[in-house]
């Protein structure tokens, strides 16, 4: 009763609360020694970096078994999809107080945190390859650049500690995924980064973490194992924060979109594999496709004052991360004195000159299939598309097509114009760090069935729209 009265008094009169006698006094908290500390997965500080130089791989290509059809046929919605009456009323008895009927994994069965299908295994194994590269990449950057180089890019010791902490987070992520996969979980590899200075490192990270998070969002709701999805979700939300923080380090607006895009596993693997140089010899292989690289000739360069005014300023196809090589000091936004043009690390930065915009002419070049990529050069890029006809702009909740113009299948070049599309009123669909695929058809796909586009993809890139 006294407690309740205190509450009422607090609501009605703050002064009276002071007259209520104290019900308990805080005491010192005694903390005991931790009892059990679960072990993390074995990892080392990878010391070797650079392109793969070993002998040709004995096993090449994606993991495969009997394949029953060339693609999954499109079908109408599953039966009963429209049965539930969404009217805010309860339509079935409640299994317990305060508990509505329905849901998946809600009947009291103990959750089992392990993969339950090939789909689950291959998806989590892909996510694990991603966590491993991040663990090494963040450490590598901290060791590779001098304090002077970091400071010259406006990233101080406390901020570098944040990068160190983000690397350590990956140990937890790699551990939880390895535990759900079991003993054959992929191990740490060695890597080759398209990075020669701090600014390029930040941009590579901001793009790599974007396909890391988007790659997981694409498969998470399709996993057979709800418990595995739960734990992976609780890692990938941290990855999402990392992506945002790397954008802030690069002086970009932290999140210029209302929804984060999801992509198919084969897209994430296509973007990731080129930066893995070698893995342990008996490493578990993946089933996913490696699409040929798309090169965005005039990929917007966030290191420039006018980021849109960039030609051949990437470090290569697929990720299309920025190169600072041909930018003069006066063109770098890091040094801009004008506050509407600068891009020093900040919680938020507005750019008065947009990186990209509707109607922008985008020049494209793509690789032919058959290229060796990935760990030990043991995967092969492939596509069944003979001639691409559309650019698919994949961002937020949307896939928006623009026709390819001046297509040359001899040079593998074309151009297109950035479409003017919105997700919702006042939310331009095409913004931020997103994806561009060349396709032979403009298939209608939505976030949950984007994978149906794979048989039509000719080449793939990250596009820097904002
Ligand atoms: C890796 O190096 C960092 C310092 O750069 C160190 O703190 C960490 O313990 C090392 N990790 C391993 C597994 O050796
Ligand atoms: C994908 O889903 C949408 C509905 O959200 C449907 O209209 C479309 O036909 C589907 N695409 C394919 C290729 O199945
Ligand atoms: C859904 O509706 C259809 C037709 O109205 C009916 O035949 C079917 O039994 C319903 N299914 C469920 C699970 O209620
Ligand atoms: C509870 O749901 C699981 C699937 O999530 C199912 O396999 C199991 O049979 C269900 N248990 C009972 C008692 O209905
Ligand atoms: C930075 O990494 C590159 C590429 O791996 C290497 O060539 C260079 O020696 C490294 N520099 C330092 C200071 O570690
Ligand atoms: C590779 O072989 C080593 C040594 O036999 C073993 O410990 C490890 O689990 C194997 N890894 C995979 C992925 O099978
Ligand atoms: C992208 O988002 C930023 C931040 O909201 C906004 O200023 C900019 O106008 C957007 N770009 C486009 C092309 O809409
Ligand atoms: C930025 O560069 C683009 C492409 O060259 C050009 O069209 C635009 O006018 C430039 N904007 C400014 C403000 O200089
Ligand atoms: C960019 O590279 C392409 C070929 O890769 C070349 O044709 C073009 O001239 C280059 N443009 C500039 C401005 O360097
Ligand atoms: C800063 O840049 C903006 C956009 O280019 C321009 O409108 C403004 O005049 C500049 N301000 C100064 C003080 O130079
Ligand atoms: C983008 O996605 C939203 C949500 O699915 C949809 O309502 C909207 O029409 C889409 N916009 C375009 C241009 O496709
Ligand atoms: C596909 O392109 C055709 C014209 O080439 C157009 O009529 C149709 O609306 C487009 N569909 C989508 C989903 O973009």
On whether the CB atoms of residues 116 and 224 are closer than 8 A, the answer is: yes
On whether the CB atoms of residues 187 and 283 are closer than 8 A, the answer is: yes
**Residue 342 pLDDT:** 96
pLDDT in 10s for each residue of the chain, 466 residues: 343 443 333 334 444 445 555 666 666 666 777 778 899 999 988 879 999 999 999 999 999 999 999 999 999 999 999 999 999 999 999 999 999 999 999 999 999 999 999 999 999 999 999 999 999 999 999 999 999 999 999 999 999 999 999 999 999 999 999 999 999 999 999 999 999 999 999 999 999 999 999 999 999 999 999 999 999 999 999 999 999 999 999 999 999 999 999 999 999 999 999 999 999 989 999 999 999 999 999 999 999 999 999 999 999 999 999 999 999 999 999 999 999 999 999 999 999 999 999 999 999 999 999 999 999 999 999 999 999 999 999 999 999 999 999 999 999 999 999 999 999 999 999 999 999 999 999 999 999 999 999 999 999 999 999 9
Of the listed ligands, the closest to the CA of 404 is 12
Tell me if 281 CB under 6 Å of ligand 6. no
Of the listed ligands, the closest to the CA of 84 is 3
CA–centroid distance, residue 432 to ligand 8 (Å): 19
**Residue 34 pLDDT:** 74
**Residue 21 pLDDT:** 55
Coil vs helix vs strand at 172? helix
**Residue 6 pLDDT:** 39
Alpha-carbon span 291 to 459, nearest angstrom: 6
Which protein residue has the closest C-alpha to ligand 9 atom 8?
312
Looking at ligand 9, which atom is closest to the CA of residue 312?
Answer: 1
Coil vs helix vs strand at 43? coil
Q: pTM value?
A: 0.92
**Residue 15 pLDDT:** 40
Of the listed ligands, the closest to the CA of 350 is 7
Which of 104, 105, 107 is the pocket-test mutation for ligand 4 (most atoms within 8 Å of CB)?
107
Q: What is the largest distance, in Å, between two alpha-carbon atoms of the chain?
A: 86
Using CA atoms, how far residue 252 sits from 258, 261, 307, 397, 435, in Å, is 16, 18, 11, 21, 17
b/e map 226-243, b = 16+ CB within 10 Å: bbbbebbeebbeebbebb
CA–centroid distance, residue 186 to ligand 6 (Å): 9
CA–centroid distance, residue 413 to ligand 12 (Å): 22
Alpha-carbon span 353 to 308, nearest angstrom: 8
**Residue 361 pLDDT:** 98
**Residue 35 pLDDT:** 77
pLDDT digits (tens, 9 = 90+) for 53-91: 999 999 999 999 999 999 999 999 999 999 999 999 999
**Residue 311 pLDDT:** 97
Q: What is the DSSP letter of 341?
A: T
Which of 293, 297, 299, 314 is the pocket-test mutation for ligand 9 (most atoms within 8 Å of CB)?
297
pLDDT digits (tens, 9 = 90+) for 318-333: 999 999 999 999 999 9
CA–centroid distance, residue 76 to ligand 4 (Å): 28
Nearest to 304 by CA among 337, 275, 276, 328: 328
Q: Going edge to edge, which strands form the sheet with 294-296?
A: 294-296, 361-366, 413-417, 405-408
Tell me if 178 CB under 6 Å of ligand 6. no
**Residue 28 pLDDT:** 67
Looking at ligand 1, which atom is closest to the CA of residue 43?
Answer: 13
């Amino acid at each position: 009763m006294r407690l309740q009265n205190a509450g009422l008094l607090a609501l009605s009169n703050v002064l009276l609360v002071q007259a209520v006698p104290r019900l308990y006094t805080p005491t010192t908290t005694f903390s005991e020694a931790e009892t059990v500390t679960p072990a993390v997965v074995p990892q080392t500080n990878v010391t070797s970096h650079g392109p793969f130089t070993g002998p040709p791989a004995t096993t090449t290509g994606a993991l495969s078994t009997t394949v029953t059809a060339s693609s999954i046929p499109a079908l109408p919605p599953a039966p009963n999809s429209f049965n539930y009456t969404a009217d805010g009323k309860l339509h079935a008895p409640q299994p317990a107080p305060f508990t509505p009927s329905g849901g998946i994994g809600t009947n009291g069965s103990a959750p089992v945190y392990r993969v339950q299908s090939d789909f689950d295994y291959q998806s989590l194994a892909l996510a694990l390859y991603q966590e491993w590269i991040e663990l090494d990449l963040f450490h590598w950057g901290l060791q590779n650049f001098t304090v002077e180089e970091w400071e010259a890019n406006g990233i101080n010791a406390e901020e570098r500690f944040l990068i160190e902490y983000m690397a350590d987070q990956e140990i937890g992520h790699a551990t939880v995924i390895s535990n759900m996969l079991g003993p054959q979980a992929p191990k740490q590899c060695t890597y080759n980064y398209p990075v020669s200075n701090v600014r390029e490192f930040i941009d590579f990270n901001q793009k790599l973490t974007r396909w890391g998070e988007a790659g997981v969002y694409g498969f998470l709701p399709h996993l057979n194992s709800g418990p595995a999805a739960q734990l992976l979700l609780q890692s990938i939300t941290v990855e999402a924060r990392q992506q945002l923080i790397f954008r802030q380090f690069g002086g970009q607006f932290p999140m210029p979109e209302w929804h984060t895009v999801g992509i198919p596993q084969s897209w994430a693997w296509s973007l990731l594999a080129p930066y893995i140089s070698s893995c342990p010899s008996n490493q578990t292989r993946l089933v996913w496709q490696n699409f040929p690289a798309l090169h965005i000739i005039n990929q917007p360069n966030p290191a420039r004052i006018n980021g849109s005014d960039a030609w051949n300023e990437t470090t290569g196809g697929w990720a299309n991360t920025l190169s600072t090589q041909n930018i003069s000091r006066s063109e770098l936004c890091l040094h801009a004195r004008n506050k509407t043009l600068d891009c020093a690390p900040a919680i938020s930065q507005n750019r008065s000159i947009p990186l990209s915009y509707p109607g922008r002419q985008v020049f494209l070049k793509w690789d032919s299939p058959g290229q060796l990529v990935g760990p030990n050069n043991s995967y092969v890029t492939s596509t069944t598309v003979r001639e691409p006809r559309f650019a698919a702009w994949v961002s937020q909740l949307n896939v928006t097509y623009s026709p390819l113009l001046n297509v040359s299948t001899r040079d593998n070049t074309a151009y297109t114009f950035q479409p003017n599309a919105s997700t919702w009123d006042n939310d331009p669909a095409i913004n931020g760090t997103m994806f561009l695929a060349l396709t032979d058809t403009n298939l209608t796909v939505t976030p949950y069935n984007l994978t149906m586009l794979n048989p039509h993809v000719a080449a793939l890139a990250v596009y820097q729209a904002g």
